[in-house]
Amino acid sequence: MIEDALIIIPAFNEAAVIEDTLAGVKKFAAHALVVNDGSGDDTARRASRAGAIVLSHAANLGYGATLKTGFTYALRHRQEPYLITFDADGQHDPSFLESLLSPLRKGAADYVIGSRFLAGPAPSTPVARKIGSRLFSLAASAVTGLKITDPTSGMLALTRNVAKVFASNLFPLDFPDADVLIMLSRMGYSICEAPVKMHPAKRPGSMHAGVLKPAYYICKMSVSMVHFALRRDLKALRREMENAG
Amino acid sequence: MLVKQKIFAVIASAALILLIGLLIKRRRLREEYALLWLATGIGILVLIIGYPLLLWVSRLIGAVTPTTTLFLFALLFVILISISFSVRFSKLADQLQQLITELAFLRKELEDLKQAKGPAENK
């Protein structure tokens, strides 16, 4: 049973699946925090009934902002040395939580990405997302010098120091992606990938659906990646944040 | 520049300045948001009233007619105002996110307090 990590689960209208997800997580980890992002359904009550700590946004802020709330709460109110982000929709397999944490416990990394492409065939994804993910993988790998196979993964493990960066205004409020990897790498944090299994989402619909949204996302991500690749003050910001306690 | 064009530009810029002044007076527009709008109106007015200045600026930037210079400056100001709004919206988005996060923490604390108080009151 994992006692040294808080599992942060961002959730938006996941009432249908949140109890199953939490039941799965609770088999492997003792502490789970659900951040309910202004859901219009019963997500918060069901998550609370399933034994999770629940925080509720008064309005829908988006995935990145929800994670940020989770990191801020963990830094202020919890003591676990490690944090793991885990999707509420049942895509992530909790039996991989231990292997995700392993590099952090050994001190081999500060940030671990759960890669669906390292653990056998990954579930099929929409073409737009596949192309975007491949482009961002290449860009992130080129800048960081690491082989990144799954920059869009939502299953991540990180230390409290990395959480301090994520709780700051450097963290994107929509979707953290390859830009965050570039930022962490340029701050000097060590990054690695661990194989994880992902299931197809139980709920249809994706933010990458349509034409305009993926196009906007690719443009926004490109600007964000260039921004972090060009910044010269990231190492100084890291020292500042770590010294701030 | 035709006299008609001059009269129209003076009326338009004066109306803009008056409107901004009125909005500030009625507290429907904060002074810090009005600065660029006022600068736009005053800038156009100065260029029209000081016609030799407009001619000089037109020659300087290579504009064929003074009217083009006026439109160009008006367009530049509108772009500046849009950028200024984007900066303010970004700040507002950050502040909104912080507010909602803090509200979520307060809600959680309140729920915890209620839960702790509930059993104690039943004793």
Of the candidates B93, B96, B101, which has its C-beta nearest A69's C-beta? B101
Whether the pLDDT of residue A138 is over 70: the answer is yes
Residue A21: its pLDDT value, please?
95
* Residues ≥6 apart with Cβ < 8 Å to A124: A200
Q: How many CA atoms lie within 13 A of A163 on its CB side?
A: 27
Highest mean pLDDT pick, A100-109, A115-124, A133-142, B28-37: A100-109
Of A4, A38, A41, residue with least CA distance to A19? A41
CATH superfamily placement of domain A2-243:
Spore Coat Polysaccharide Biosynthesis Protein SpsA; Chain A (3.90.550.10)
> Helix (H, G, I), strand (E, B), or coil: what is residue A2?
strand
The H-or-E segment that residue A103 falls in is helix A97-105
**Alpha-carbon span B12 to A142, nearest angstrom:** 54
Residue A202: its pLDDT value, please?
64
Residue A207: its pLDDT value, please?
46
Residue A245: its pLDDT value, please?
66
Interface contact B90, partner A, CB < 8 A: no
Tell me: the pLDDT tens digits for A188-243? 999 999 999 888 766 655 444 566 777 788 888 888 888 998 999 999 999 999 98
> Helix (H, G, I), strand (E, B), or coil: what is residue A92?
strand
Q: What is the mean pLDDT of chain A?
A: 89
**Alpha-carbon span A42 to B41, nearest angstrom:** 53
B31-49 and B51-61 helices, crossing angle to 10°: 100
**Would you say how long chain B is, in residues?**
123
Residue A211: its pLDDT value, please?
67
Q: What percent of chain B has pLDDT over 90?
A: 29
Q: Which of residues 35-64 of B touch A (CB under 8 A)?
A: none
Say if residues A25 and A95 touch (Cβ distance below 8 Å).
no
Of the candidates A58, A73, A173, which has its C-beta nearest B93's C-beta? A173
Tell me: the pLDDT tens digits for B51-106? 888 899 999 999 988 889 888 888 888 898 899 889 989 999 999 999 999 999 99
Question: Torsions phi, psi of A6, nearest 5?
Answer: -100, 125
> Helix (H, G, I), strand (E, B), or coil: what is residue A73?
helix
Number of other residues whose CB lies within 10 A of the CB of residue A187: 23
Residue A56: its pLDDT value, please?
95
Q: Where are the domains of chain B?
A: 3-122
In a mutagenesis test of the B interface, which of A36, A49, A72, A78 is the best target, namely the one with the most B β-carbons within 10 Å?
A72
**Alpha-carbon span A64 to A167, nearest angstrom:** 10
For B1-4, the CB contacts below 8 A with 24+ separation are B1/B51, B1/B54, B1/B65, B1/B66, B1/B67
For residue B106, what is the nearest residue in chain A, using CA coordinates?
A: A55
For this complex, say whether ipTM is above 0.85. Answer: no
**Alpha-carbon span A114 to A72, nearest angstrom:** 22
Q: Where are the domains of chain A?
A: 2-243
**Alpha-carbon span B99 to B35, nearest angstrom:** 28
Distance of CA A157 to the CA centre of its chain: 8
Tell me: the pLDDT tens digits for A13-43? 999 999 999 999 999 999 999 999 999 999 9
Whether the pLDDT of residue A44 is over 60: the answer is yes
DSSP code for A199: P
**Alpha-carbon span A102 to A135, nearest angstrom:** 28
Residue A209: its pLDDT value, please?
53
Sheet holding A156-159, edge to edge: A53-56, A29-36, A2-11, A82-85, A156-159, A111-115, A191-195
Residue A14: its pLDDT value, please?
94
CB contacts of A58 in chain B (<8 Å) are 100, 103-104, 107
Interface contact B107, partner A, CB < 8 A: yes
For residue A69, what is the nearest residue in chain B, using CA coordinates?
A: B101
